[in-house]
């Protein structure tokens, strides 16, 4: 039974990591892509605007 208690945490972490990777891959692109792209574009525009204000 010692080997079972030694392998259980590793197995749980491996399954959790696999679920995390699958979730990340599924959320790439698709209907969420345009929303993510818009958020990134807005952040870049804000950064450029603040950079131009400080340069003046």
Handedness of CA 30, 31, 34, 37 (dihedral sign): negative
Integer Cα distance of 19 and 26 in angstroms:
10
User: Could you give the CA distance from residue 16 to residue 32 in angstroms, rounded to a whole number?
Assistant: 23
- Amino acid 18: pLDDT: 97
CA atoms 36, 39, 43, 48: torsion sign: positive
- Number of domains present in the structure of the chain: 1
Domain containing residue 43: 2-55
Supply the pTM of this predicted model: 0.50
Q: 4-44 pLDDT, tens per residue?
A: 889 999 999 999 999 999 998 887 777 767 777 888 889 99
* 4 alpha carbon, distance to own chain's centre: 33
Query: Is the pLDDT score of 56 beyond 60?
Result: no
């Amino acid at each position: 039974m010692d080997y079972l208690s030694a392998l259980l945490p590793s197995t749980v972490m491996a399954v959790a990591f696999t679920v995390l990777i699958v979730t990340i891959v599924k959320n790439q692109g698709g209907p969420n892509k345009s929303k993510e792209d818009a958020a990134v574009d807005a952040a870049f525009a804000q950064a450029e605007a603040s950079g131009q204000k400080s340069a003046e």
